[in-house]
Structures are given as C-alpha cells and as structure tokens.
A and B are shown apart, each in its own frame.
Chain A
Amino acid sequence: MSKMIPDSLPIPAGLRGVASDWAADKQAFPVPWGKAMMWIFLLSDTFVFTCFLTAYMNVRISTTVPWPNPSEVFALRIGGADIPLILIAIMTFILISSSGTMAMAVNFGYRRDRAKTAALLLTTAAFGLTFVGMQAFEWTKLIVEEGVRPWGNPLGAAQFGSSFFMITGFHGAHVSAGVIYLSVVALRVWRGDYERKGTYETVEIAGLYWHFVDLVWVFIFALFYLW
C-alpha cells in the first residue's frame, strides 16, 4: 500500500503507525474480530456508566435535602467500634484481586495450559460471586436495618437510595453476567474447545470485559463512597 504520510514530514512514529493502520486493507487493527468488537462494545458501555455517574453527580449537587454521609452509612460495627467503609474496602480488594487472577488466566491460556487456565477462570468467577454476595449483604443491611428505599430514606436526600440501588445494581448485574460468562468460558477451556480451535483468544476477550467491570467499580467507589 502506498504511504499515508510522506517520509519527509516530521511526524512521530506512533502517529505514522495509526495512519498506516487506517490505510491498510482487510483490517484496520491486527486483532481478531471478537476482540475488536469487545473493545467497541466496552467503549459504548463506558458511555452508559458515564451517563449514570454524571446523572448521579448532578442529582447529588442539586438535591434540596442534605446528602447522607457515606462513610457513616457504610460503616460496619465490628467489636464495638464503627469502622467506616470496611465492607466496601474488602469488596474492592476482592474485585481487584480477581483482575489479577484473570490476567493470569489469560497468560496461561496463551501458554496452552488448559488446567491452570480453567482453574484461574473459575477462581476469578468465584471472586466475582463473592463480590455480588457481599453486595447483597450490603443491600440487605441498608434496606432492613437503615430503612433505605429507592424512593426515600430516613438519613437524608431520597436520591441517595435511588442512585445507590440503581448504580450498584447496574454494576452488580454486569458482575453477575461476567460470572456466568467466565464460567462458560472456563467450561469450554476445560473441554478443550480452544485447543481444537487453535487459539485461546476467547479467554482474553472475556478478560477485557472483566477488567472493564473492575475499572468501572473503581470509579463508582471513588465517586459514590469516597465523595
């Protein structure tokens, strides 16, 4: 193919690379279809979460009643002392660890280590399941003990409960979907489907999704709990 940018122009190599990708025939990026599609989907999903979080922030600054203090609401009473945000801290730790096991699964996938890949995928899914379980515990505590409802709560602005259930619910649904997704991939790894296909790219694609869900949680954590 002819050059997009003449050599004589002082343009950094990276930019040249981008330009030649775009001028290539057959494919713009040297990645499998599924991976390209997952990236594009995640871009779209980023917009979904961005809209949720922006809407939440807007509601939070414009509400007429004071916002409850998250570090008090989300404190756990352990051994007679209130420890702020302890549950969320553990949940965050678990989710981030699961990204680690996921990355290892991808690595072992490319080394064609069927057993370890499947085991690590299942570990990741188990971490995810733990996260969802702890979230269920947190929801129950808020609903039963604190009396928080989507439409109102005794602690302050009604939008606190609305935003909380909506955003963590939407994220929790992503995690749950991810758990199912990872389990299916783990099963296929175990059966040797990808061995026959000759590539473990599906593991990596599932990994992209999982890391994304983790990353989103970091933003929810920062903007909802730490603000």
Chain B
Amino acid sequence: MAYVAIADRDVHLHDPQTFVTKYIWSQDHKVIAIQYSVTAIAVGLVALVLSGMMRLQLGFPNTFSFITPSNYLQFITMHGMIMVIYLLTALFLGGFGNYLVPLMVGARDMVFPYMNMLSYRVYLLSVLVLRASCVVPGGPTGAGWTLYPPQAVLPGTSGAGLGIILMLVSLAIFIVAFTMGGLNYVTTILQARCRGMTLLRLPLTVWGIFMATILGLLAFPALLVSAIMMILDSVLGTSFFMPAVVSMGKGLKYDGGSPVLFQHLFWFFGHPEVYIVALPAFGIVSDLLSVHARKNIFGYRMMVWAILAIGCLSFVVWAHHMYVSGMNPYFGYFFATTTLIIAIPTAIKVYNWVLTLWHGDIHLRVPMLFAIGFIFTFVHGGLTGLFLGNVTVDLPLSDTYFVVGHFHMVMGVSPILVVFGAIYHWYPKITGRMLNEALGKLHFWATFLGAYAVYLPMHYLGILGVPRRYYALGDTAFIPNSVHDVNVAITVAALVIAAAQLVFLFNLVWSLAHGREAGSNPWGATTLEWQTPDTPPKHGNWGARLPVAYRWAYEFSVPGARSDFIPQNEPPEAPGGREHGAKP
C-alpha cells in the first residue's frame, strides 16, 4: 500500500486550548524548543559560575578557604559534564533542532509531538537528578567528566557513593530523553519534508543537526552501557571495570575487571560526542555566513558529503584519547592515522567557509561577527588537535593545560560562539523583535577577545608541563614563576568574559519588550522558516497551506533577479526557469 506523505494529507494537530497546554505541557515543537533552551542555559550558567570558582582558585591559591581540593575536583567534574552534555547537546539538538527542523523542512511539527514533549520532561528530570547529586551526603562526584574507574567508585574520591551513582543515573535518563527527541528529529527530516524539499535542497543547518542526531543515537548507547556497568560495580560490587585494588593496606572486594574497557566504551561515545556539538555548529555557521555575505555557500554538496564523512569517521578515532592508557601501542598507529584522515573533510569545510566569504557582500552584523569568530577559533583548535592526534607529540602534552586549551578552543568556545550567533540570528523569528545591535557587538568582542586571553596562554602553560585537574601547583621545581602570573591573568580575563555574558542575558530580556520590530524576514534569508505567514510562527507553522520548495536554500545575489535573494518557496518565474539543488 502506498503511503501518503504529510504534504498530501490532512493532518489533525492537537489544538492547544488553555495556558497550560499551550506553554507548559505543550506539544508544539517551538514551545518545547524554548523549554529546552531555557533549561539548558540555566544549567549552563551554573557551569559558568563553577568555572569562575575554579579560576579564582587557580589564579589566587590559598586565598579562598571555601574551595577545598575535593571541592575543586567536584567543580571541574560538574563544569565539564554540564557544558558538554546538559548545555551544548541539549541546546543544539533539543533547542535549535526542535525549533528549526520542522520549520526548515516545511513541516507542521515533529512527526510524534507527544513523544517530543516527553523528551523535554525526561531531560528536565535528568537535570534535576544531576542537581540532586550536589546535595546528597558526600556531595557530587569529583572523578572528572570522564568518570574513569577505578577511582570514580573508590572511597578516596569525593562523591564516591551517592554522588557518582546519581551522576550515572542522570546520564542514563538524559540518554532516554535524547533518544525520544532524536528519533523524532531524524524521522522528521527523512520522512516529513514538504513538497519539493529534496534532501539535497535542505539547508546545511538541517544536515548538521541530522548527522549529529544520528551520531547521538549510535554513540550514546556506549555511554548507557558503561553507566549501567559502573552502577553495578558501585552498587552491587561487581568487577566489570575494577581490578584488584589495595586501599589503605586492605584488599578491596574487587578483582579481575578492566579499567581500560571503560575508557574504550567512554570514548566510543566521547569522540562522536565532540561532533554531536560540532556538526550542528558547522551547519548553522554555513547558513549564517551565506546569509550575511549574500552569497551561496561554496561547494554545497561537498559540505554535505563532508558532514557525512566526518560523522562516519568519528566512530573510528576514539582511542586517540587513550594514547597513555596502557592499551596496545599498535592501536596508537591506527588511531593516529584515522585521526589525521578526519582532518581532511574538516579542512574542506573550513576552506569552503572562507571561499563563501571571498568576494561576498559581507554585512558585519552581530550573527556574522560570531560566525567569523567561529572560523578563527575553530581553525585554532583544529590545528592544536593535529598535535594531540599524533602519538609521540601527545605523550608529553597529554593531561596538561595544552589539552585544556585545545578542547576549550575546539568544542567549548567554537560551538558557544555559534550558539550566540544563532541566537542573534533567529531571535527575531522567535520573538518578533531584534536584539540590540550595540550590546551585541560589545558582547561579541568581549567574548571573542576574552576567549583568546583565557585559552591562548593555556597552551603555553601546557608546553611548560603544567598538569590539568590540579587544585594548586605548590612549589615544584619545573614550574617557573611566570606560570603564576599567567594564571592570574587568565583568571582576570575569565571573570571579565563571564561578566560580559550578563550583557547578553540583559539583551535577551530587554529586547523582548524594547527591541526593534523585526518584521518577518529582517536578514533577507531564503530558508523556509523566514517565510512563515506569522512572526513568531503560530501553532502549525504554515497557516492553511504547506509551503512548496522550488529551489535550494542559497539563492543569493542571483544576476537578473528582482531582489538579492530568492526564498526557497518562490516559484520559478517562467516555466523552465533555472532550478538549483537536486540537479546533478
């Protein structure tokens, strides 16, 4: 039996009636997106405050009596975990994914709105469990965001009892939430596009979110399994990851397990996770650059293939995080090779971004500033990645501040810049008002320059051999005095950049009421979400009739066209008019 696609069907959407069904238990993808984003940003602020405390301790050791060594380790763990999972993953996929996917593919909603709503509820639960782990006896776990056993479950580590268990339970709940949302995003993109929207006409934002979601669906299982096994080790006393351990002169109950197994499982998840936050950023930045440079994206198909290639390759590079783990040294050879291979599609994307700017009509509006800033920080982080990907170079740099500098550049600062750019870009659609431009520019320059002030010196510290995850350096012969001065400078910069985020928060709230009216398409963008009949889009998105896509998403500055952009849903002028996209 042939199946009737959504574009040809009368779909009955549930109609929200009351305040509660409209804004609280809502099944509308736009409301769910906002709920996801607000929750993610709220926990993200906690992580930001924690990083401030860590920096205070590092810049001014022996000054703050309320930061003990085990507090410090709890702070890094919470900070790292929140930033990577509960902020960035949730914000890119639950937030932007939810808002943009149905609008960009021309659907009325996700394919299963009820499950989508559950996804947010379960995510909220995972956040609450995570927060609960901070108030239980023993406090949250201080094992580092990688949660390596055996130390994560041994009594010497803070939070070794309830702390680590709640952390693992919270992760498992998060994975359930992610799976419910992720299945929706993938199925919507594959099966619910509007008429004329072929896969190769999708905006790159959708491609990035699509591939990232697939990575999540295939990588989170490894984290789920390792979480279950570690919970069993901790609660029931099994020895999956626990070797025979002698603690305080006493043999513990554990025997015969393999800590390296955990590392393999963790990084089989952990490396794709890097791309789960990077690919949506790649996609979004491609669209921002193209819109604000009034030029089609350079090499659209190559960009799509690069996203797919990076996605596949990201499953075969995981052990580059384990060069010093004691695994078979020959693995290093294999994983260094694959790591360098994955640099090729990544480099292609960078070239294509730069070539998109080349001879473009560049408008340095706030989203564009952030997008260009991203190219800088990402190239920077990518280059230091090449160092760490090579076994012999990595050995001395492993577990130093060089690594901290590297991953903050590549998966901290870069995706966060894109998040900001994306918020400045889509806020007008979401609220109907523009964010304040002057405050935005201030926010950009403080964040962008501040990021360099914070992370560039960390590379220098790392080359000197300053170890990461240290509460204080004390008097160590190989660490020169300059290190302390550098640490003070980094801390000052970090506090300034953290304060600059207040400008952004203020802007978000203030513009809600006082921002300039945006109109429906303030940037002159071509993608479908800017062509909705209402701004902000109403429930059901499209009014009576679904849109039809006639062209790809990058029809800018077309010679002879009436305006400098042609929306995706604008029919060709004459029959046989030039069509872009699916043509070979």
Q: Are A151 and B221 in contact (CB under 8 A)?
A: no
Q: Are B221 and A51 in contact (CB under 8 A)?
A: yes
A199 to B58, CA, bound (A): 64
Q: Which candidate, A59-67, A122-130, A131-139, A182-190, is the interface stretch facing chain B?
A: A59-67
Q: Which candidate, A37-45, A78-86, A140-148, is the interface stretch facing chain B?
A: A37-45
Minimum CB distance partner of B244 in chain A: A64
Which of B3, B183, B220, B228 has a CB less than 8 Å from the CB of A166? B228
User: A47-B221, A159-B240, A166-B228 in contact; A36/B549 too (CB < 8 A)?
Assistant: no
Q: Are B239 and A25 in contact (CB under 8 A)?
A: no
B473 within 8 A of partner (CB): no
Minimum CB distance partner of A38 in chain B: B183
Closest CB in chain A relative to B65 CB, distance in Å: 41
A33 within 8 A of partner (CB): yes
B255 within 8 A of partner (CB): yes
Which of B8, B191, B255, B584 has a CB less than 8 Å from the CB of A29? B191
Minimum CB distance partner of B549 in chain A: A25
A3 within 8 A of partner (CB): yes
Q: Which candidate, B19-27, B158-166, B196-204, is the interface stretch facing chain A?
A: B196-204
Q: Which candidate, B95-103, B230-238, B409-417, is the interface stretch facing chain A?
A: B230-238
A107 within 8 A of partner (CB): no
Which of A23, A65, A162 has a CB less than 8 Å from the CB of B198? A23
Question: Quick one: which of A1-48 are within 8 Å of B by CB?
Answer: 1-6, 22-34, 36-37, 40-41, 43-45, 47-48
User: A41-B179, A44-B179, A55-B265 in contact; A64/B255 too (CB < 8 A)?
Assistant: yes
Q: Which candidate, B139-147, B256-264, B537-545, is the interface stretch facing chain A?
A: B256-264
Which of A25, A37, A45 has a CB less than 8 Å from the CB of B111? A37
A52 within 8 A of partner (CB): yes
Q: Are A150 and B236 in contact (CB under 8 A)?
A: yes
Q: Are B232 and A26 in contact (CB under 8 A)?
A: no
Q: Are A5 and B258 in contact (CB under 8 A)?
A: no
A192 to B429, CA, bound (A): 44
B248 within 8 A of partner (CB): no
User: A26-B195, A55-B261, A59-B257 in contact; A3/B240 too (CB < 8 A)?
Assistant: no
Q: How many residues of B contact A (CB 8 A)?
A: 57
Category for how many chain A residues contact B? 35 or more
Minimum CB distance partner of A44 in chain B: B217
Kindly supply a per-residue 1/0 record for chain B positions 205-232, scoring 1 wherever the CB is within 8 Å of any chain A CB and 0 otherwise. 0000000000001111110111011001
A96 within 8 A of partner (CB): no
Closest CB in chain A relative to B197 CB, distance in Å: 5
Which chain B residues lie closer than 8 Å to A162 at the CB level?
232, 236, 238-240
User: A40-B187, A166-B228 in contact; A27/B193 too (CB < 8 A)?
Assistant: yes
Which chain A residues lie closer than 8 Å to B184 at the CB level?
37
Which chain A residues lie closer than 8 Å to B6 at the CB level?
26
Which chain A residues lie closer than 8 Å to B258 at the CB level?
58-59, 62
Q: Are B187 and A36 in contact (CB under 8 A)?
A: yes
Q: Are A25 and B196 in contact (CB under 8 A)?
A: yes
Which chain B residues lie closer than 8 Å to A33 at the CB level?
111-112, 187, 191-192
User: A2-B584, A44-B221 in contact; A25/B191 too (CB < 8 A)?
Assistant: no
B2 within 8 A of partner (CB): yes
Q: Are B2 and A30 in contact (CB under 8 A)?
A: yes
A208 within 8 A of partner (CB): no
Closest CB in chain B relative to A108 CB, distance in Å: 16
A216 within 8 A of partner (CB): no
Q: Are A27 and B583 in contact (CB under 8 A)?
A: no
Which chain A residues lie closer than 8 Å to B199 at the CB level?
22-24, 28
User: A25-B549, A51-B265 in contact; A36/B256 too (CB < 8 A)?
Assistant: no
A158 to B198, CA, bound (A): 54
Q: Are A55 and B240 in contact (CB under 8 A)?
A: yes
Q: Are A24 and B186 in contact (CB under 8 A)?
A: no
B253 within 8 A of partner (CB): yes
Which chain B residues lie closer than 8 Å to A30 at the CB level?
2-3
A157 within 8 A of partner (CB): yes
Which chain A residues lie closer than 8 Å to B136 at the CB level?
none
Closest CB in chain B relative to A216 CB, distance in Å: 13
Closest CB in chain B relative to A82 CB, distance in Å: 28
Which of A25, A31, A170 has a CB less than 8 Å from the CB of B193? A25
Q: Are B190 and A27 in contact (CB under 8 A)?
A: yes
B194 within 8 A of partner (CB): yes
A211 to B232, CA, bound (A): 29
Q: Are B224 and A48 in contact (CB under 8 A)?
A: yes
Which chain A residues lie closer than 8 Å to B179 at the CB level?
41, 44
B438 within 8 A of partner (CB): no
Kindly supply a per-residue 1/0 record for chain A positions 162-189, scoring 1 wherever the CB is within 8 Å of any chain B CB and 0 otherwise. 1100100010000000000000000000
Q: Are B239 and A151 in contact (CB under 8 A)?
A: yes
Which chain A residues lie closer than 8 Å to B220 at the CB level?
44
A32 to B6, CA, bound (A): 10
Which chain B residues lie closer than 8 Å to A170 at the CB level?
228
Question: Quick one: which of B264-279 are within 8 Å of A by CB?
Answer: 264-265, 268
Closest CB in chain B relative to A211 CB, distance in Å: 19
Q: Are A23 and B200 in contact (CB under 8 A)?
A: yes
Q: Are B582 and A2 in contact (CB under 8 A)?
A: yes
A1 to B195, CA, bound (A): 11
Which of B200, B229, B256 has a CB less than 8 Å from the CB of A55? B229
Question: Quick one: which of B1-52 are within 8 Å of A by CB?
Answer: 1-3, 5-8
Closest CB in chain A relative to B388 CB, distance in Å: 26
Which chain A residues lie closer than 8 Å to B197 at the CB level?
25-26
Q: Can you name 15 A-B pairs with beta carbons within 8 Å?
A: A22-B199, A26-B193, A28-B190, A43-B217, A44-B179, A44-B221, A51-B225, A51-B226, A55-B225, A59-B240, A150-B232, A151-B239, A158-B256, A159-B239, A162-B236
| Given A65-B256, A162-B240, 12 new contacts (CB under 8 A) | A2-B579, A24-B199, A29-B190, A40-B187, A44-B220, A44-B221, A50-B221, A51-B224, A63-B257, A150-B237, A166-B238, A170-B228
5 smallest beta-carbon distances between A and B, as pairs = A47-B221, A162-B238, A26-B5, A51-B225, A48-B221
